[in-house]
Amino acid sequence: MTKKDVRILAFESSCDETSTAVIKNGREIESLIVATQIKSHQRFGGVVPEVASRHHIEVITQITKEALDEANATWADIDAIAVTYGPGLVGALLIGVSAAKAASMATGIPLIGVDHIMGHIMAAQLKDEIEYPALALQVSGGHTEIVLMKDPIHFEIVGDTRDDAAGEAYDKIGRVLGVNYPAGKTIDEWAHKGKDTFHFPRAMMEDDDYDFSFSGLKSAFINTCHHADQIHEELDKYDLAASFQASVVDVLSHKTIRAIKEYKPKTFILGGGVAANHGLRDRLAEEIEKLPADIKPKVILPDLKLCGDNAAMIGAAAYNLYQAGKFSDVNLNADPSLELPYAESMLK
């Protein structure tokens, strides 16, 4: 390692994954540890905040040691400590923030608070170089947003969800189909075995803005299933999944392509847990390939292992903040409602 290398120890605990990582120069993963809690929450059909917080407490010290050991690093090798401070579950966030602050105070290593959504988008930086300006479609359980990035640290939301995020809708219809939480992967697999025979609504697809709404789709899906139950009609689960996913993918891809045509980014990024959805990845790649050469952006689809919550993405985002001198102090606190700023055009 040369003197110009920067190594960041990152913490992520915003929901039901406890993760630590050591990232070098914002691009290289030297270690990544993820302690998942999925089995603990499956019986409840979703994340239980108190259970998540207790699991974070149980493992965070151990996985911090594991991340340093896997990276063959000591505290003396770490240039900054990064942590997700929002958005997320307040109790879960506090565990990571407390651990990071304690480590920073004990070692004197600078602290960097990172926005969780910025982290998801910066997972792309771990795969390829991002050319700016860039545009990201961030799709996860709690967020569905189109984000314009002027540079590595200035992000603006140009489109947002008005109700259920796409990932949240997947989990809710998964319960109706009897699919264990998290439902996205199974629904995606089923969708590839069925056809869009139900033609569910494509809400807001033709609106002038870049906002999303999946609550109506979710309701239409549930009503269809409940009606079939009442008349004792058996519906094909693969066609149901395919029809639901076709609606989600149609809306997301349509608005994303329109945003690309307007903002003309040099790079397009897909981020968040739903970025692992093969139907969405394939559609966006196909639609972007059809664009004229002069507005066709470079496309970065993150590795599947980096689509879910992980500390590597937090370390990548923190590196950019480190380079810009954006550090936090001991007053850093969890902010469960933290939001990226909205573009000025949305506020007029």
Element (H, E) at 271: strand 267-271
Q: How far is Cα 4 from Cα 322, in angstroms, rounded to an integer?
A: 13
Say whether 116 counts as a known binding-site residue. yes
Say whether 272 counts as a known binding-site residue. no
Q: How far is Cα 153 from Cα 341, in angstroms, rounded to an integer?
A: 12
Say whether 154 counts as a known binding-site residue. no
Say whether 184 counts as a known binding-site residue. yes
Say whether 188 counts as a known binding-site residue. yes
Say whether 209 counts as a known binding-site residue. no
Say whether 192 counts as a known binding-site residue. no
Instruction: Specify burial of residue 313 (Cβ count, 10 A radius: 0-12, 13-18, 19+).
Output: buried
**3-state SS, residue 36:** strand
**3-state SS, residue 125:** helix
Say whether 180 counts as a known binding-site residue. no
At a CB cut-off of 8 Å and minimum separation 6, what does 316 contact?
Answer: 23, 26, 27, 119, 122, 123, 125, 126
3-state secondary structure 154-201: CEEEEECECCCCHHHHHHHHHHHHCCCCCCHHHHHHHHCCCCCCCCCC
Say whether 41 counts as a known binding-site residue. no
Per the CB < 8 A criterion, the answer to whether 188 and 307 are in contact is: no
Say whether 141 counts as a known binding-site residue. yes
**3-state SS, residue 27:** coil
Q: Tell me the β-bridge partners of 18.
A: 35
Q: How far is Cα 101 from Cα 327, in angstroms, rounded to an integer?
A: 12
At a CB cut-off of 8 Å and minimum separation 6, what does 346 contact?
Answer: 157, 158, 209
Q: How close are the terminal C-alpha atoms of the chain, in Å?
A: 49
Q: How far is Cα 320 from Cα 338, in angstroms, rounded to an integer?
A: 19
Residue type at 102 in one-letter notation: A
Q: Report the binding-site residues.
A: 116, 120, 138-142, 171, 184, 188, 277, 309
Q: Report the binding-site residues for substrate.
A: 138-142, 171, 184, 188, 277
Q: Report the binding-site residues for Fe cation.
A: 116, 120, 309
